[in-house]
Amino acid sequence: MAYRRTPAVQRRLDELRTRLIDAAIAQVAEHGYAGCSVASVAAAAGVGTGTVYRHFEGKSELFAEVFRIVCGREVQAMVEIGEMARATDGRAVDAVVASVCAFADRALRMPTLAHALLVEPVDQTIDTERLAFRTAFRDNLSVAIDAAADAGEIPHQNSEFTAACIVGAIGEALVTPLARSAYTHETPDPTTLTTDITTFTLRALGSTDAQHTRGHQSGSAAGGLRRG
């Protein structure tokens, strides 16, 4: 008769897997992808390396799961911050600005982790998760852009294309500060950059000058939400 795991056994295995993933997230947030190994994750989780290999084939599979989880959390956070900004300010365009600023702000506050997620050379399996993150971010921005256009706040446009351009431009703008921080271990001040990102985003959307002023105020409000 084939062995079947009891619910209690499966629960313990699931808890151990979660512990390994949490340890891997903490390791990459402190040391970056290149500075992590299966052995270091095992030590951080308080288990032997063999235990890690019973749950994951190797470093690539483990950190693909790490990227998937962390990126999913970031997308969800950006969506929630965008929705809160729209509920507060009453404009759909504020959801776009707040989401984009949240992306930059959160990256700059966790520079080593963000550098690993966005910039650092990784295996192909992990790079697939990186692309999925950018696609999910683009798709959520696209929905918010369409809502802003339907509300008459910005011109109608190819929202998917605009969103892709914004995601690409903001990611590129973060490369230098994240790379510098990854080597100096200093956390950059996000204030100036997020202000510039607000202006860039509104211009990319085709916002008017009057909306630019209000958009900067929305960006500041979103910053307060992120710190909470």
The CATH number given to 1-56 is 1.10.10.60
The two most distant CA atoms of the chain are separated, in Å, by: 73
The whole-angstrom separation of Cα 152 and Cα 207 is: 10
pTM recorded for the entire structure: 0.83
> 14: which 2 tokens?
């699931």
8 Å CB contact between 63 and 28? yes
pLDDT digits (tens, 9 = 90+) for 23-74: 999 999 999 999 999 999 999 999 999 999 999 999 999 999 999 999 999 9
Interhelix angle 59-89/38-45, nearest 10 degrees? 70
pLDDT tops 70 at residue 191? yes
% of the chain at pLDDT higher than 70: 89
CATH fit for domain 60-227, picks 1.10.3470, 1.10.10, 1.10.357, 3.40.50: 1.10.357
Q: What are the domain boundaries of the chain?
A: 1-56, 60-227
pLDDT digits (tens, 9 = 90+) for 140-186: 999 999 999 999 999 999 999 999 999 999 999 999 888 887 677 77
pLDDT digits (tens, 9 = 90+) for 115-148: 999 989 999 999 999 999 999 999 999 999 999 9
Quick one: average pLDDT of 182-203? 82
